[in-house]
Amino acid sequence: MPALALVTGASAGIGRETALALAAAGCGVVATARRAEPLAELSRAGAIEPVAADVTAADGRARIAAAVGDRRLGLLVHGAGLFPRGLITSLSADDWQRAIATNVLARLELVLALRNALAGGRVLFVGSDAAVNPRAGGAAYSVSKAASEMLWRCLATEQGDEIAFGMAKPGLVETAMLDDSLRMPRAEFPAGEVYAAMRDRGETIAAATVARFFRFLLLETSREEFASGIWDIRDTAHHPRWLTAPLYVPRRSRSPAG
């Protein structure tokens, strides 16, 4: 029987493509995000149950848990993410709190709320190079991603016998988040120059390619392999097992707004 999957942050980008990829593989998918309209559109594309909810709010998580109900949840993908941009001297307390709430605490609270349903299942944390390689203007994101990585390790240490916890880094992905970064004034987000140069060199990855990678990890690896360490999409060792097209998108000219 195909697994039931829950994907957060499913209204756009990696989350949306992952929901579609898992549905195409035969999984039942509960897709959640704050915006109802993109979720409704997504549900029309396949066997996907939309749940409009804020994962940082207790009532939102309760709504998600109610949607799962008494079903066994085979897969959980932590796709929801928040990237406040700005230098440390300009970031507000609210910027920091929102980053931690979305990128760390929501992940913890959702696992705890669904712990019984997840018994024997898999949880995938979407990681980032920002956790170990800070970029100027992205401190709140880097700190929250580093905390998320440590949360993954702690959950695996304490709950790994019941649930398999995996971590995957998708590289620099062509999403609205990247476009927003390139539109930021360089004085506020100097790292935008790095991202623009990577796009110019053709070093960005399509969200659909990341989704295929996640589908491979969630459905085509053993439990032990899935939870064995941090998976990086750019590691060529696993490419023959899932990658059927070039990893990177064609080289693009720099965005005029960048």
Which residues are catalytic, by number? 141
Are the C-beta atoms of residues 32 and 6 closer than 8 Å to each other? yes
In angstroms, rounded to a whole number, what is the distance separating the alpha carbons of residues 234 and 248? 9
Nearest in space to 213 (alpha carbons), one of 251, 177, 175, 247: 247
10 Å CB burial of residue 99 (0-12, 13-18, 19+) is buried
Residue with tokens 């993954």: 152
Structure tokens at 131: 């956790």
Helices (H), the chain: 13-24, 36-43, 58-68, 93-100, 106-113, 115-118, 139-159, 176-183, 192-200, 207-219, 223-226
Rounded to the nearest 10 degrees, how much is the dihedral formed by the CA atoms of 20, 22, 24, 28? -100
Q: Is the CB of residue 7 less than 8 Å from the CB of residue 25?
A: no
